[in-house]
Amino acid sequence: MLTKLKQQVQDALTSTANMFHRVGLTPNHVSVLGVIFSGLAAFTYSQWEFNPILLIVAPVLMLVSGLFDALDGVIARVHDQASVFGAFFDSVLDRYSDAIVLCGIIVGGLTELRWGIVALMGSLLVSYVRARAEAAGVKMESVGIAERAERIVILALVSFVSYMWIDALNWGVLLLAVLTNITVIQRVLYFRKALKQ
C-alpha cells in the first residue's frame, strides 16, 4: 500500500542521499546503518521497564532505521551504484531488522509470546513469498496490505500510544500477526492467478 508512495519519498530524500554520498557512504554502508539502528531499537524495547520513556525512544530509532532503508536505494539509483549484490544484501539486512525489532518487543514482555511469534513468522514470510515469486518472474511490489513500510508505521504508532497505555503494543503486534499472514495469503493467490494468466 505505502509502496505506491515510494517514488515520491525517494524524490524527497534525494538531497539527503547526495549528502550521504558526499561523505563517502555507499548504499551498503547505509543498509548496515539501518540494521544497527534496528538493533538499538530492539535493545531499547527490551529495556523499557527501567525507564518508560524508552517506549518513545525505541520507535524513533526504528523510524531512523526505516529512513536508512529508503536512503540506500536512493543513493544507489541517483549515483549509479545499484548492483545485484547490493539489492540482495539490503534484502537480507531488512529481514534481520524486522526480526530484531520484534524480538526486542517480545523480550521486553510488551506482547504475548504467541502473538510475537506469529507476527515474526508472518513478517518473514511476506518477504519470502515475494522473493520466491519474483524469482519465478512475477512482480510482487505493492501486493498485499502489510508490506514492510506498513509494518514499521503500525509498530511506531502503537509504540507511541503504549507510553500512555502499555497494552497498545500487545494489540499492535496482534494486528501485525493478522495482517502479515493475510498479506502472505494475498500474495500466494496473486501468484497463482499470475501463473494462470
Select from 85, 97, 100 the least CA-distant residue to 28.
Answer: 85
Q: How many CB atoms lie within 10 A of CB 164?
A: 9
Q: Where are the domains of the chain?
A: 2-196
pLDDT tens figures, 125-182: 999 999 999 989 999 888 999 998 899 999 999 999 999 999 999 999 999 999 999 9
pLDDT at 13: 77
- Amino acid making up residue 136: A
Fold of 2-196: Four Helix Bundle (Hemerythrin (Met), subunit A) (1.20.120)
Select from 22, 56, 26 the least CA-distant residue to 41.
Answer: 56
Helix-then-strand count for the chain, H and E: 8, 0
Share of the chain above pLDDT 90, in %: 68
Pairwise CA distance, residues 61 & 86, whole Å: 23
Q: pTM for the full model?
A: 0.88
Give the residue, 1 or 112, on which the prediction is more confident. 112
Pairwise CA distance, residues 68 & 62, whole Å: 10
Positions annotated as catalytic residues are 94
Share of the chain above pLDDT 70, in %: 94
pLDDT at 189: 95
